[in-house]
Amino acid sequence: MLSSVHQFSHVYVERDITESPMSRGVLQRLYDSGQNPRIIPVEHYKDVFNRPRQSFRIQKHQPALILAREREHFLYRGNERINSWKQSGLFYNALVRNCVYNCDYCFLQGMHGSAHSVMFLNNRDFIHAAERQLEKGPVYMSISYLSEILAFEPLYPYAREWLEFARGREDFALEIRTKSDYYQAIADLEPSANSFLVWSLSPEQVSREHERGTASFRNRLFAASRAAEDGWPLKLTFDPVLELENWQDLYGNMIEETFRRIPPEKVQEVSFGVFRMNQDFLKRIRTVRPESPVLYGDFRKTGELVSYAPDFIREVREFMTGRLRAYISPEKIFFVHG
């Protein structure tokens, strides 16, 4: 939900959509929520978003919103690093660029030089791209890989429109992943068998210290349990597992509490992974967060990927798999790396 954490100091609006119903609707909802940001017309969102010498860290304390129209990139093919369930036909899109949350380890800090959020308001063009791909074969679509979509639902109903599009399409599966507790934004919709709600869960200490702005572990768990009770297909992901001093206690207790509150039979699949990142992204993020200990672990480089030492990865894989098998059958547990 938009709260005081997600206030926007400025709203940049591309000139050719200034008077569009979508832009006017977003601005009205901002006003209705009590915000009164400065409105600034721009020719193209990249004039603001891609400016050189921006400070991601400073902007995070007073982020702006950019309302834009995507003109080129409506669909991306997923790779092994983001394929939590070993799905074929995996695709994702970027309805929103950047996230209102402020996680230490978020790769978006390395991908983008700006902390401002870009909302693309021509959602129908993204949906049409999915329709065209669907003509070629089955599609498993993630609409939340590059942002926290549910956090923007009060401004524009991205999730609602995609859930309605997915309903009844046998060769199309939709994934909405979240660290929020804003299930109420879509709770009135009838559950759909091919639309998966995925909660990303972290131990309370991790969410408090390294995932600023996100919902607490218990609030996420409560939202996920409500969705499961309502009949939504539910998946859970514990990713990334961080190499902290007491990591086994933290993640072991988290798994135990998760399945104490959510019946295991309500969970379709579970995935987990360790911290991993493109080396260039990590270098940039360290300049933004030089004080964050999770960015300075005992890392090894394999190709362009930076992650923990193989022995630790093996230890995490064995520990998490063993704990999860107490609740979930092995064929529903996935380790994600690459």
Q: Is the peptide bond before 240 cis (omega within 30 degrees of 0)?
A: yes
User: Which residues, 6+ apart, have CB-to-CB distance to 247 below 8 Å?
Assistant: 241, 316
For the segment 2-23, what is each residue's pLDDT rounded down to a tens digit? Answer: 443 378 989 999 999 999 999 9
Domains by residue range for the chain, with CATH: 70-95+121-336 (3.80.30.30)
Chain segment 201-226, per-residue pLDDT in tens: 999 999 999 999 999 999 999 999 99
CB burial readout 196-220, b (16+ within 10 A) else e: bbbbbbbbebbbeebbebbbebeeb
Task: Please list, in sequence order, all residues whose beta carbon lies within 8 angstroms of the beta carbon of residue 23, skipping any fewer than 6 positions away.
Answer: 13, 17, 67, 121
Chain position carrying tokens 């998946």: 235
**In this model, does residue 326 exceed pLDDT 80?**
yes
Assess whether pLDDT exceeds 60 at residue 183: yes
**pLDDT tens-place string over residues 249-268:** 999 999 999 999 999 999 99
Mean pLDDT of the chain: 94
Q: Can you tell me the distance from the alpha carbon of 33 to that of 317, in angstroms, rounded to the nearest whole number?
A: 44
What is the pLDDT confidence band of residue 81, given thresholds at 50, 70 and 90?
Answer: low
Single pTM value for the model = 0.94
